[in-house]
Amino acid sequence: MSVPSDGSVESLAPGAEAVVRGPFERLRAAWRAQGAPPDVTARLVSLEKMQAWIVAHQEDIARAISDDFGHRSRHETIAAELALAATDLQHTRAHLRAWARPEARSTFWGFLPGSSRLIRQPLGVVGIVVPWNYPFQLAVMPLAAAVAAGNRVLIKPSELTPRTGEQVLAMVRAVFTPEQVDVVTGGADVGAAFASLPFDHLFFTGSTSVGRAVMRAAAENLTPVTLELGGKSPVVVHASYDAARAAESVAAGKLLNAGQTCIAPDYVLVAPDKVDAFVAGYERAVAQMYPRIVDNPDYTSIISDRHHARLDALLADAVKKGATIRQINPAKESVGGSRKFFPTLVLGATPDMAVMQDEIFGPILPVLPVADVDAAIHFVNDHPRPLALYYFDDDSARAEDVLTRTTSGGASVNATLYHMAQHDMPFGGVGASGMGRYHGFDGFRTFSHEKSVFYQTRLNGTATLRPPYGKMFDTLMKLFVR
Ligand code: NAD
């Protein structure tokens, strides 16, 4: 069934509510019945088991994702799903004891010799909604953070990746009991029912429009949300930078997963006299990485016919409104019955074209001339805040200036994508590209309640703060109010 964009609960099929309610209540009952949350040793055991399961089942996972996509490069799955998840688990396991330790905070001198500490404790039962584009990694990394923090977890994979959903379920069943972590499957109706559950935290990765519905549903329960959304991530190439070198990096970042990456470069801003060099460099880089497209196992398919048609429509709209299309097809193949989509550049794109309005999420790249860096910054700032920004320039002062004057979830300088693979840095959006963050310590914090605790000592001076107020109180307040 279809769910109205407001995600209202009244419109839900009774079946969807039934799918999510049972597993949720089981997790909540187990949370309430537990004497204390799992200690750090128990959490570390779960994380180690997850890691071992992933290592042992990598070929099954790669096959499942490829089946779901029609074709997904095995190498891309190993790098962007399994290596990311495994190294994130290694990082979390190495640091969890330190993260979970109470943190001493300074005590305001008026309350000495009392002391202050921050205690991080699990939130309870948390929900994780997963999109289709990295269907394993985007389930496992939030799950690892939630488990590291000591929570019980309910996961909803995407309906577009059912085979990968089975792998996520198999891992969950192998490592956890259904009272610790469970998985529910289904489409938008199950997603809407899921978002209306009174979770202690809801972690959503997906589109901006569904993110809005999720936040609305969560507001009913005052459930805090992390929204990992998408958007149009710009590339800015300074006139002094070798345009062909930038193009190589942009092509690699753009064509990973055939452009179906939340932080993929969405469009390029380059000096007018460098457009040709960038285009030539991009075409060369594509031909080098993918001498063939259709029968190349390294090049991934578009997830569904609907998304393939959506990309076709973006190009048709651009052509109709006057843009020039440069399809890159080094071996002069025809797509045949596959869902492969040739890497395509769009020249002469204008703001009225859908390709400059919607997140592209495929191997189409508009290249636009901009007069200078100031004009590029204004262009970026005239649009919703992106998830990522990529700046190419060897002048570090200029790069810092661009970073200071633009607001994006994250950024890479002279590279694409790599900021998201740094486990010690938070990953997340800002504005329309999302709210909240995870990865490493920041993921642990997202799924923890940080409780401020003051410890009083037997001997202390706080009696002077109580009535009847005397001279000592007045003296103290004179010291404070100044
Ligand atoms: P989507 O929003 O269509 O679906 C995401 C998930 O939400 C799916 O599991 C879906 O079943 C579920 N869902 C659908 N309707 C729902 C509702 N009303 N309430 C709750 N859940 C609902 O997104 P998608 O097409 O699967 O993924 C692509 C989008 O995700 C792109 O916009 C991309 O940029 C974004 N994305 C962001 C990140 C990030 O880390 N920021 C990562 C990957 C993808």
Q: What is the pLDDT of residues 116-137, one digit of tens each?
A: 999 999 999 999 999 999 999 9
What confidence tier does 13 reach under pLDDT thresholds 50, 70, 90? low
Listed range (4-13, 28-37, 50-59, 115-124) with the worst mean pLDDT:
4-13
Torsion of CA 66, 70, 73, 77, to 10 degrees: -30
| Whether residue 228 lies in the annotated active site | yes
Whether the bond between 178 and the residue before it is cis, its omega within 30 degrees of 0, is no
418 in helix, strand or coil?
Answer: helix
What would the mean pLDDT of 85-104 be, rounded to a whole number? 98
Does residue 133 line the site of ligand 1, with CB under 6 A? yes
| Active-site residue, selected from the candidate residues 81, 228, 248, 359 | 228
For residue 14, what pLDDT is reported? Answer: 66
For residue 10, what pLDDT is reported? Answer: 45
Instruction: Judge whether residue 55 has pLDDT over 80.
Output: yes
Does residue 158 line the site of ligand 1, with CB under 6 A? yes
Which residue matches tokens 């959903």?
165
pTM of the model: 0.95
Which residue matches tokens 């196992």?
297
Q: N- to C-terminal Cα distance for the chain?
A: 64
Q: Reduced to 3 DSSP states, what percent helix, strand and coil does the chain have, rounded to the nearest 5?
A: 50, 15, 35
Q: Which of 1, 158, 210 is the pocket-test mutation for ligand 1 (most atoms within 8 Å of CB)?
A: 210
The two domains 16-229+432-450 and 233-428 share their CATH topology (first three levels equal): no
Strands (E) located in 189-237: 201-205, 225-228, 233-237
In ligand 1, the atom with minimum distance to the C-alpha of 131 is 26
Q: Say which amino acid occupies 53.
A: W
Label residues 202-216 b or e (16+ Cβ within 10 Å = b).
bbbbbbbebbbbbbe
Q: Say which amino acid occupies 482.
A: R
Does residue 191 line the site of ligand 1, with CB under 6 A? yes
DSSP 80: I
For residue 7, what pLDDT is reported? Answer: 42
Q: Could you give the CA distance from residue 176 to residue 269 in angstroms, rounded to a whole number?
A: 48
What confidence tier does 461 reach under pLDDT thresholds 50, 70, 90? confident
Q: Could you give the CA distance from residue 248 to residue 232 in angstroms, rounded to a whole number?
A: 20
Q: Could you give the CA distance from residue 281 to residue 354 in angstroms, rounded to a whole number?
A: 25
Does residue 362 line the site of ligand 1, with CB under 6 A? no
Instruction: Judge whether residue 2 has pLDDT over 50.
Output: no
- Under the phi-then-psi rule, with left for phi > 0, alpha for psi from -120 to 50, and beta for the rest, what region is 160? alpha
DSSP 358: S
Does residue 410 line the site of ligand 1, with CB under 6 A? no
Instruction: Judge whether residue 284 has pLDDT over 60.
Output: yes
58 in helix, strand or coil?
Answer: helix
Are residues 97 and 120 in contact, defined by beta-carbon separation less than 8 angstroms? Answer: no
What would the mean pLDDT of 48-55 be, rounded to a whole number? 98
For residue 95, what pLDDT is reported? Answer: 98
In ligand 1, the atom with minimum distance to the C-alpha of 7 is 18
Instruction: Judge whether residue 289 has pLDDT over 90.
Output: yes
Instruction: Judge whether residue 454 has pLDDT over 70.
Output: yes
Predicted confidence (pLDDT) per residue in 342-395, tens digit? 999 999 999 999 999 999 999 999 999 999 999 999 999 999 999 999 999 999
Mean pLDDT of the chain: 96
105 in helix, strand or coil?
Answer: strand
In percent, the amount of the chain with pLDDT more than 90 equals: 95
Tokens of 156: 């909803």
Instruction: Judge whether residue 399 has pLDDT over 80.
Output: yes
What confidence tier does 336 reach under pLDDT thresholds 50, 70, 90? confident
Q: Which of 2, 68, 158, 387 is the pocket-test mutation for ligand 1 (most atoms within 8 Å of CB)?
A: 158
Q: Which residues contact 307 (CB under 8 A, 6 or more apart)?
A: 260, 361, 362
For residue 5, what pLDDT is reported? Answer: 44
What confidence tier does 157 reach under pLDDT thresholds 50, 70, 90? very high
Predicted confidence (pLDDT) per residue in 173-184, tens digit? 999 999 999 999
Torsion of CA 413, 416, 420, 422, to 10 degrees: -60
| Whether residue 262 lies in the annotated active site | yes
DSSP 324: E
Q: Which CATH number fits the domain 16-229+432-450, given the four candidates 3.30.70.270, 3.40.605.10, 3.30.1330.60, 3.30.930.10?
A: 3.40.605.10
Whether the bond between 113 and the residue before it is cis, its omega within 30 degrees of 0, is yes
In percent, the amount of the chain with pLDDT more than 70 equals: 97
Q: Whose CA is nearest to atom 38 of ligand 1?
A: 262
Instruction: Write the CATH number of the domain with boundaries 233-428.
Output: 3.40.309.10
Does residue 187 line the site of ligand 1, with CB under 6 A? yes
What would the mean pLDDT of 167-192 be, rounded to a whole number? 98
Q: Could you give the CA distance from residue 367 to residue 303 in angstroms, rounded to a whole number?
A: 25
Tokens of 222: 């005052």
What confidence tier does 417 reach under pLDDT thresholds 50, 70, 90? very high
List the chain domain ranges. Answer: 16-229+432-450, 233-428
Instruction: Judge whether residue 202 has pLDDT over 60.
Output: yes
Tokens of 210: 């569904």
